[in-house]
């Protein structure tokens, strides 16, 4: 993605709405601190205090723009790995100039966004790099287990970390699980997939969650495009995949469920096209950032 700016994938109206929501959440009534410092022009420096991939710049820019402050000047490109940052060696990544009360009003919001987005990008990049070193040519994907209201930031971090976003929301791809079969009144997946295909049209893929060869074969025969082998061991899933592909060579196989950074490398096998992990987003550690006002800009 070196020749493209990921910012261009984002809806500018949506980013603006998010920025406004975050600011209103953090300042629900009076900003007494802002009264104390006033509109004195100041310059603030944003520091990275921990190794990681820088991510979240468009959201930081949107927050400052929403407050009427010129966006920060970043010292690095988004996606850069800062490899020498620590609490004792803070790395300057950006500077911003504007009224003191507005700079400080934005401070915690923009640091939270940078920390969260960069943490996700860092973990995705770290695991993805190791999988490539193992000569696995599939896609590492983050699941839909995101933080309500913060999905765009988290999925954007996944992209900066060069991983796959999986489906963005319920409308992006159709995923059928055991609960859908139980509640729908259909006897099995073989009867429900054709019904779904009538509404899906040609543009939506259908993925079916399975845990055995019998279920996977039934779903593939019914016209599913992707089989998710859920909570199946790497070896067992590989065997299911080989047997299934002997009959359906074009079907995609996804490994998911219970996959962590500890055991993900067991799934780096040619039998799997996709490895999806909720822990790429859920429970992902943040990268530490801080902001300081400098006296003599």
> Which are the catalytic amino acids?
145
3-state helix, strand, coil in the chain (%, to 5): 45, 20, 40
Longest dimension (CA), the chain: 73
- State the helix-helix crossing angle for 151-160 and 100-133, rounded to 10 degrees: 50
Element (H, E) at 44: strand 41-48
- In three-state form (DSSP H/G/I as H, E/B as E, the rest C), the secondary structure along 97-159 is EEEHHHHHHHHHHHHHHHHHHHHHHHHHHHHHHHHHHCCCCCEEEECCCCCCCCHHHHHHHHH
Asked if 195 contacts 186 with a C-beta cutoff of 8 angstroms, the reply is: yes
Token readout for 258 is: 């219970």
- Output the CA angle 193-195-199, nearest 5 degrees: 110
Give Cβ neighbours of residue 72 (< 8 Å, ≥ 6 apart): 46, 60, 61, 64, 94, 95, 96
């Amino acid at each position: 993605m070196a020749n493209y700016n990921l910012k261009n994938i984002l809806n500018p109206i949506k980013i603006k709405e998010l920025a406004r929501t975050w600011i209103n959440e953090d300042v629900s009534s009076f900003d007494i601190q802002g009264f104390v410092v006033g509109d004195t022009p100041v310059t603030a420096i944003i520091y990275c205090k921990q190794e990681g991939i820088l991510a979240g710049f468009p959201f930081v820019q949107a927050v400052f723009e929403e407050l009427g402050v010129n966006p920060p000047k970043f010292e690095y490109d988004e996606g850069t790995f800062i490899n020498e940052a620590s609490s004792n060696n803070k790395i300057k990544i950006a500077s911003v100039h504007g009224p003191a009360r507005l700079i400080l009003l934005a401070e915690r919001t923009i640091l939270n966004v940078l920390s969260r987005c960069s943490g996700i990008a860092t973990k995705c990049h770290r695991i993805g790099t190791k999988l490539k070193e193992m000569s696995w040519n599939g896609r590492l994907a983050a699941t839909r287990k995101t933080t309500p209201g913060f999905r765009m930031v988290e999925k954007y971090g996944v992209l900066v970390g060069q991983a796959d976003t999986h489906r963005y929301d319920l409308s992006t791809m159709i995923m059928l699980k055991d609960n859908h079969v139980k509640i729908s009144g259909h006897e099995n997946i073989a009867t429900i997939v054709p019904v779904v295909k009538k509404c899906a049209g040609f543009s939506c893929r259908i993925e079916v969650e399975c845990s055995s060869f019998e279920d996977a074969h039934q779903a593939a025969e019914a016209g599913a495009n992707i089989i998710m082998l859920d909570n199946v061991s790497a070896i067992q899933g590989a065997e299911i995949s080989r047997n299934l592909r002997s009959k359906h060579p074009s079907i995609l196989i996804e490994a998911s469920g219970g996959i962590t950074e500890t055991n993900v490398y067991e799934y780096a096998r040619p039998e799997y096209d996709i490895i999806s992990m909720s822990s790429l987003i859920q429970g992902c550690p943040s990268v530490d950032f801080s902001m300081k006002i400098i006296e003599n800009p």
